[in-house]
Amino acid sequence: MQFYFLFPFIFLFTFAYKSLHQKKLVLFLLLCTFLAVLSPKVFDFLTTYFSLPKFKLPSILTYTMPLFLFGMLSAGVRLNKISPAYLVIAIIILFSFQAFLTNLVLGVFLLLLFLDKLEPFIPPFMLRIFSSARSLMSGKLAGYGADISYSLYLIHTLLIGYILQFTINFFNNQSISKLTIALVALALTLIICFTVCYLIYLFIEKPFIKLGRSIVDKIVDKKRSTAPSLIE
C-alpha cells in the first residue's frame, strides 16, 4: 500500500516538466539505490541498540523502491517516452546490488517487455516460447488479474483468517483430514477474494480512476488555456 500512496508524488516529481523527467527518474533511482544499500544496516543498528521490531528486507520501502522505479522507467521506454539510454543506466545501477534471483526475474521482465525489439537476437524456438508466455500474460485472464491485484493485495490477509476459522469450525465434528480442510479453505478463499476484489474494482476503483482522470484533464486544460502564447 505504501507504494500506491507514494506513486502520485513520485510521478509528479519526475514528470512535472517533460524536459527533465528522464534525468529526474534516473537520479531518483540512484538515490533510492543508495538508500536501499544503506537502509538494512540502519534498521539492523536500530533493532540491535534500541530494541525496535526487526523489519525484513521486503518490508523496507527504501529497499524495494528501486524496483518500483525501474518498472516506471521500463514502461516509459516501451512507450517511447524515455530514451533507452536511461534504461541502460538504470540496469547498471540496479543489477549491481540485487540478488541473483531478483536479477533473473528482472531480466525475464525486460525480455518479455521488449521481445519485439530483441527478436533478431533470439533463436526461433526460444522466441516461440517467449511469445507464447507474453501472449498468455497479455490475455483477458491476465488483464483480470491486473484489475484486481491492488484490492487482492489489500484484503486477502483480512479474509483468509476468517475463512480458515469458518472452515475448521464447520468440519470440527467430522472425520476429515487436515489436508481436505486446507484445500476447502483455499478454494473458498480464492472464490470469495476474487469475487469481492472484482466488485471493489468495478464499483469503487474504476469510478474513482475515471474521476481522477477527469480532474487531471481539467487541470491540464486550464493550464494550457492560461499559458502565454508563443505567437504574439
What's the pLDDT at 183? 93
- Residues of the domain holding 166: 140-222
pLDDT at site 107: 92
Count of H helices and E strands in the chain? 10, 0
- Is 118 among the domain residues? no
Tell which of 67, 98, 129 closes a domain: 98
Residue 132 CA: distances (Å) to CA of 123, 127, 145, 146 = 14, 8, 18, 19
Task: Say what the pTM is.
Answer: 0.64
- Looking at the domain assignment, is residue 109 inside a domain? no
Instruction: State the CB neighbour count (10 A cutoff) for residue 117.
Output: 11
pLDDT of residue 19: 54
Give the integer Cα–Cα distance in Å for 222 and 45. Answer: 50
Per-residue pLDDT of the chain (232 residues; tens, 9 = 90+): 566 667 667 666 666 555 556 677 778 788 888 887 787 777 777 777 776 666 555 556 777 778 888 888 888 888 887 888 888 988 988 888 888 898 999 999 899 889 988 888 888 888 899 888 888 777 787 788 888 887 887 788 888 889 999 998 988 877 888 889 899 999 999 999 999 999 999 998 888 888 877 887 787 677 667 655 444 4
Q: Is residue 34 part of a domain?
A: yes
Q: Residue 32 and residue 34: Cα distance in Å, rounded? A: 5
Name the amino acid, one letter, at 62. T
Cα-flanking dihedrals φ and ψ of residue 80, to 5°? 60, 30
In-domain check, residue 106: no
Residue 171 lies in a domain: yes
Please tell me whether residues 91 and 27 are part of one structural domain.
yes
- Whether residue 65 sits in one domain with residue 7: yes
Which of 70, 98, 126 is the endpoint of a domain? 98
Assigned domain for 103 exists: no
Is 68 a member of any domain? Answer: yes
Based on the structure, what is the number of domains in the chain?
A: 2
